[in-house]
Amino acid sequence: MSTRTVLHEADIARALTRISHEILESNKGPEGLVLLGIPTRGVTLAHRVGALVAEFGGAPVPVGSLDVTMYRDDLHRNPTRAPQPTQIPAGGIDGKVVVLVDDVLFSGRSIRAALDALQDIGRPAAVRLATLVDRGHRELPIRPDFVGKNLPSSRDERVNVRLAETDGVEEVTIES
């Protein structure tokens, strides 16, 4: 098994800065935005993007988390992990532009589950998707609005995002 690093700490920081600027530009400012991270690493990334959007946009942006575990359609095939808490910011999501934040976009099934979970919480004005890595191989018609790095990969390869807050190291690797 070989592992190669495709993004280092500085690359991840640059990607998140770019994503934050693109979110602000697309929304014409920070007003009405809510960022929801998909556990585990999507939550960490959402908090980082939220801090950058607040810094660049001049106003704080609510950040929360959206656990999609029980909404997944592949629970019978994949080992389940313990559900994480869903934390919706105090202002809710009704009428807001919700940006879902995830670490890796692969089949699109996590995002489909997130869209189902959002329906149970409220009715956003729009839903956007930000992902650090888009590796292709979509099984559903889902496309990210904001991407840190497009990373074509084989289905046999594994993309690992490691962040300082959860893993003690900051990198994106591919294992083959």
Residue ranges per structural domain of the chain: 3-73+85-175
Of the options 3.40.50.2020, 3.40.50.300, 3.40.50.2300, 1.10.630.10, the CATH number for the domain spanning 3-73+85-175: 3.40.50.2020
Q: What is the pLDDT, as a whole number, of residue 78?
A: 67
Task: For residues 64 and 167, give the distance between their C-alpha atoms in angstroms, rounded to a whole number.
Answer: 20
**Contacts of range 38-42, beta carbons closer than 8 Å, 24 or more positions apart:** 38/65, 38/66, 38/67, 38/68, 38/100, 38/101, 38/102, 38/110, 38/111, 38/114, 39/65, 39/67, 39/84, 40/84, 40/166, 41/102, 41/103, 41/161, 41/163, 41/166, 42/100, 42/101, 42/102, 42/103
pLDDT in tens, 65-95: 999 988 887 766 666 667 888 999 999 999 9
Q: What is the pLDDT along the chain (176 residues), one digit of tens a residue?
A: 899 999 999 999 999 999 999 999 999 999 999 999 999 999 999 999 999 999 999 999 999 999 998 888 776 666 666 788 899 999 999 999 999 999 999 999 999 999 999 999 999 999 999 999 999 999 999 999 999 999 999 999 999 999 999 999 999 999 99
For residue 8, the one-letter residue type is H
Cβ neighbourhood burial of 125 (10 Å; 0-12, 13-18, 19+): exposed
